[in-house]
Amino acid sequence: MNSATATALLAGLEQGAISSEEIVIGLLDRADRLKRLNVFVHLDPDHVLSQARAIDKRRRSGDSVGPLAGVPVAIKDLLCVEGEPTTCGSRMLRTFRPPYDATVISRLKQAGAILFGKTNMDEFAMGSSTENSAYGPTLNPWDETRVPGGSSGGSAAAVAAGLAPIALGSDTGGSIRQPAAVCGIVGLKPTYGRVSRYGLIAFASSLDQIGPFAHDLADTALILKAISGHDPRDSTSVDDSVPDYPATLGTPPESLRIGVVPEFFGEGLDPEVESAIREAIRVYEQAGATIRKVSLPNSRSGIPAYYIVAPAECSSNLARYDGTIYGHRAADFSPRYPGEESLAPMVRMMMASRAEGFGAEVKRRIMLGTFVLSAGYADQYYNQALKVRRLIRNDFDSAFKEVDVLIGPTSPTPAFKLGERTSNPLAMYLSDIYTITANLAGIPGLSIPCGLTKSNLPIGLQLLAPAFAEEKLLRTARVFERATDWHLKRPGVKE
Ligand code: GLN
């Protein structure tokens, strides 16, 4: 049962073959036996059980129940759930319990889903390995000496390890697609504006987007439909109708013109990853696709532009955590360094609280962001990066005049070893080299399983489509899923 998809569980629930209570008892038990993976930062069995019993009761009494009724969903710990711990992987928010639900959470509740625990993540979603969590790293279920990717590593590992059939994460530069790729599952970053960000703890507001993790595309379509749509509480959410993704998934796209981007096959690409992607291209060719080379010349500036824009926005978003209204407050803020005696006690309190509450990577980003926005430097850095961002978007606009979707690798390498990149921030940043441009351009990106290395590590295929073309993206990916069985592979996790 722990390898079942949400669609399969829903069928069992509808037929009365299984109850939601039985499903969650099985998963809670498994979670208990797989504690070593460190997937959840918070999991309250009583709360999970009471949600399951309530939905079973409604189903039995013949009430109409939502499209995800009784299905457990694991939640990245940066989505606010009323009254439940929401730490964002940080010491700063160790005791925070939000007074309200994020919009995606209220939508999941309306759909009848069971909120199944909060998953581990890199602090404030900054990282690619989940090693920047204040609560310790999560292990990759395929190889426990390796990282599950990040920053949504807990959510990806939860689905891969069979601890929840589906999960939510967030993607600012790759944080859904890259962990999905290295954990052998599907991960989708929707178009900026498709899903409301209300109640998502902000990292870089112009790039952040919430999206699903699942074993296959049917489940991805199901959850995407449930969370998408306009929300008056997020002015960047688009007021447009939401396509019926599950209903149209089975229909192959009218046109299958696929662009292969030479810039996505550059230096640092693992040879086994490359050959799996080349093989995926052949699968599409056999399915009748026209394959064309399309260049995205400005994508090589993706990492530098992102590491100016994202830290700039983060330095502003994280300014609120100073121990006054938000965040950890230091108990001792007596002067520590020469000169601090002359500072007001409140200033010392803020300094000590931020010093204690934030980890090293978050501090690095805040300093970088403050610098690139400072008077005299903003033009050289921040404003310049915005221009590069526009050029990246223009590249995609011209590419999508010629092809329907672009394909390439999601991550340049399979899952790397724990500790391998922690002392080298640049090596860590390069994990997102192929995912980051979609965030800068605001377009949707999808990662689907497309192979395993000789040492049994998953490889992900990335597909990119124009803004709001999620339907096309999913249907195009479905062509590959139908022709292969990579989405059926599961890691052999020992309980
Ligand atoms: N790894 C990237 C970063 O560290 C992207 C993170 C994300 O998408 N949240 O910023």
- pLDDT tens, residue by residue, 259-270: 999 999 988 999
pLDDT surpassing 80 at residue 345: yes
**CA 158 – ligand 1 centroid, Å:** 19
Asked if 489 is an active-site residue, the reply is no
CB 310 near ligand 1, within 6 Å: yes
pLDDT of residue 479: 98
pLDDT of residue 225: 98
Query: Would you mind telling me the total number of residues written for the chain in this entry?
Result: 495
410: left (phi over 0), alpha (psi -120 to 50) or beta: alpha
Q: Which residue in 472, 418, 462, 419 sits closest to 437, CA to CA?
A: 462
Looking at the CA of residue 436, tell me the nearest atom of ligand 1.
Answer: 5
* Structure confidence by residue, pLDDT tens digits, 274-323: 999 999 999 999 999 999 999 999 999 999 999 999 999 999 999 999 99
Question: Residues 320-331: what's their mean pLDDT?
Answer: 96
Question: Residues 197-202: what's their mean pLDDT?
Answer: 98
pLDDT of residue 26: 97
CB 231 near ligand 1, within 6 Å: no
Q: Which residue in 199, 121, 219 sits closest to 210, CA to CA?
A: 199
Gap between the Cα atoms of 289 and 286, Å rounded: 7
Looking at the CA of residue 203, tell me the nearest atom of ligand 1.
Answer: 9
Looking at the CA of residue 204, tell me the nearest atom of ligand 1.
Answer: 9
Asked if 90 is an active-site residue, the reply is no
Pairing of strands 114-119, 458-464: unpaired
Q: Active-site residue among 19, 151, 196, 315?
A: 151
**CA 456 – ligand 1 centroid, Å:** 25
pLDDT surpassing 80 at residue 22: yes
Q: Where in the chain is the domain with CATH 3.90.1300.10?
A: 6-252
pLDDT of residue 362: 98
* Structure confidence by residue, pLDDT tens digits, 61-88: 999 999 999 999 999 999 999 999 999 9
Gap between the Cα atoms of 140 and 37, Å rounded: 7
Q: Which residues contact 113 (CB under 8 A, 6 or more apart)?
A: 66, 68, 69, 71, 72, 73, 226
- Looking at the DSSP assignment, which residues form a beta bridge with residue 460? 449
pLDDT of residue 102: 98
Asked if 76 is an active-site residue, the reply is yes
End-to-end CA distance of the chain: 14
Contact 352, 244 (CB under 8 A): no
pLDDT surpassing 80 at residue 1: no
* Structure confidence by residue, pLDDT tens digits, 450-484: 999 999 999 999 999 999 999 999 999 999 999 99
Atom 10, ligand 1: which residue's CA is nearest?
A: 126
pLDDT of residue 2: 82
pTM metric for this prediction: 0.98
CB 103 near ligand 1, within 6 Å: no
Confidence of residue 360 (pLDDT cuts 50, 70, 90): very high
pLDDT surpassing 80 at residue 117: yes
Sign of the four-CA dihedral 238, 315, 139, 24: negative
Which CATH number applies to 6-252: 3.40.50.620, 3.40.50.2300, 3.40.1280.10, 3.90.1300.10?
A: 3.90.1300.10
Helical axes 302-317 vs 360-373, angle rounded to 10°: 100
Looking at the CA of residue 428, tell me the nearest atom of ligand 1.
Answer: 1
CB 178 near ligand 1, within 6 Å: no
Give percent of the chain above pLDDT 70: 100
**CA 174 – ligand 1 centroid, Å:** 6
Q: Which residues contact 151 (CB under 8 A, 6 or more apart)?
A: 89, 121, 122, 125, 126, 127, 128, 130, 132, 169, 170, 172, 175, 179
Sign of the four-CA dihedral 416, 422, 425, 426: negative
Token match 């489509």: residue?
Answer: 465
The average confidence (pLDDT) of the chain is 97
pLDDT surpassing 80 at residue 357: yes
